[in-house]
Amino acid sequence: MGFDYDLFTIGAGSGGVAGSRRAAAYGAKVAIAEDRRVGGTCVLRGCVPKKLLVYGTHFAEELADARGYGWTVDGARFDWGALIAAKNRETDRLNGIYIKLLTDSKVAILDGRARIVAPNTVDVAGKRVTAKHILIATGGHPERLPIPGAELAIDSDQALDLTVLPKRVAILGGGYIAVEFAGIFRAAGSEVTQVIRAERVLRGFDEEVRSHLQGELEKKGIRIWSGSEAAGIERVAGGLRLTLADGRNLEVDQVMIATGRRPNTRDLSLEQVGVTLNKIGAVAVDECQATTSPGIYAIGDVTDRVNLTPVAIAEGRGLAETLFNDNPTKFDHGCIATAVFSQPPVGTVGLTEEAATKLGPVDIYRAVFRPMKHTLSGREEKTLMKLVVDRASQIVVGAHMVGADSPEIIQALAIAVKAKLSKRDFDRTVAVHPTAAEEFVLMREPLKRS
């Protein structure tokens, strides 16, 4: 049987684009379908525009800190609308680049929503095409809380396109998206209240990281209501009233829901062709990205495993290697570095102290200090650095940081942790002075043995 395409990809986000281009480079005939804009969540509605807003709003602190270094900055003012417009110009540019990358790679772009209607058959906006292999790379979307008035709130997609900066914002959620937007809005000048169900933000991260970051957020004026759940939202004369389950309420101009994301599998007709989904709608795959239906694969956030853009890209490229280059490739989901672009940011790789202690005794090395920059700026901000070391082997199994430049620093440390270097390797590495990063090779004695 002849097919229209060797590979048909549903979803033109980072993973889908990467996998499609790699397959085409090996001679496969490839098409990709997208019902929104080419580029996906990371480029258009996530990592990239969000970090641009972090950069833009963080200038408030840079201007304030400059006084300690002899600068007088008169007449500085912030224009939220101008920042959003600049962000939009950049995402438009990137959208164009992604389209060019696909066309230059000879990947056909089909506009419209795709559904798998039969084995090896996809319907795109009413047109049916066939493919030997089908790749699901549809990503995820922000979830909505099942509370009265939820439709009055915004999600992270909408927050990126607000044309007017709200004076008062309530953010529901304590994950990385919530803390990142809390920092953006607060630095831009909004009053921010973050409502979280847990006692601390960033569930799943190292407990000391969670505690340290929460303290720094509160120093910046972000009000955090711990152990709280939203019960409803209603429109009032002054804006919106958020009511909590414990009876407390708060009047704000905007409520943002950032309580999680869900895989984009609705209306894809996946179960009709034998693709198994889990209880939240994520596609079940094996270590080779294969679903339970022959010839259908899935990568990235739609599988709800490690929801990070570089992971989706690596999975997509690995699948192309397997299918079209006779190079069976399985992606290693262990020891993946990640960053939270909160203010201050977080960088982490490897095991948390809590996870490591479940596997055996560990030594904990920790440094908390005021960065050199703030000795003159006067800002009361502390940096946290932490190493988790397996006691028996002395291998560094986890590295964590909260503070300026932590995402940049953790990228280099990820090589060391992935390579399973020992604490002795860290100790005999010469420090780069004066830097914050040098503390990772200067921590000599464990502060705790667990």
Helix (H) or strand (E) holding 100: helix 80-104
Residue type, 217: L
433 is catalytic: yes
In 3D space, the residue among 351, 423, 352 whose CA is nearest the CA of residue 392 turns out to be 423
Beta pairing class for 168-172 and 254-257: parallel
Answer whether 263's CB lies under 8 Å from 140's CB.
Answer: yes
Measured CA to CA, the distance from residue 155 to residue 353 in angstroms comes to 32
Measured CA to CA, the distance from residue 96 to residue 44 in angstroms comes to 11
Answer whether 197's CB lies under 8 Å from 281's CB.
Answer: no
Of residues 58, 333, 400, 433, which has the active-site annotation?
433
Q: Which residues contact 75 (CB under 8 A, 6 or more apart)?
A: none
In 3D space, the residue among 288, 241, 255, 291 whose CA is nearest the CA of residue 271 turns out to be 291
Burial of 405 (0-12, 13-18, 19+ CB in 10 A): middle
Phi/psi for 140 (5° steps) reads: -140, 180
Beta-carbon count within 10 A of 368 CB: 15
* Triad 50, 53, 57: Cα angle to 5°: 145
In 3D space, the residue among 423, 412, 286, 255 whose CA is nearest the CA of residue 349 turns out to be 412
Measured CA to CA, the distance from residue 301 to residue 297 in angstroms comes to 13
First to last CA, the chain: 61
Phi/psi for 262 (5° steps) reads: -130, 150
For residue 285, give the 3-state DSSP assignment: coil
For residue 213, give the 3-state DSSP assignment: helix
Helix axes 47-66, 80-104, angle to 10 degrees: 140
Measured CA to CA, the distance from residue 435 to residue 93 in angstroms comes to 35
The structure tokens listed for 159 are 């927050």
Helix axes 14-25, 80-104, angle to 10 degrees: 20
Measured CA to CA, the distance from residue 108 to residue 112 in angstroms comes to 13
Q: Which amino acids are annotated catalytic?
A: 433
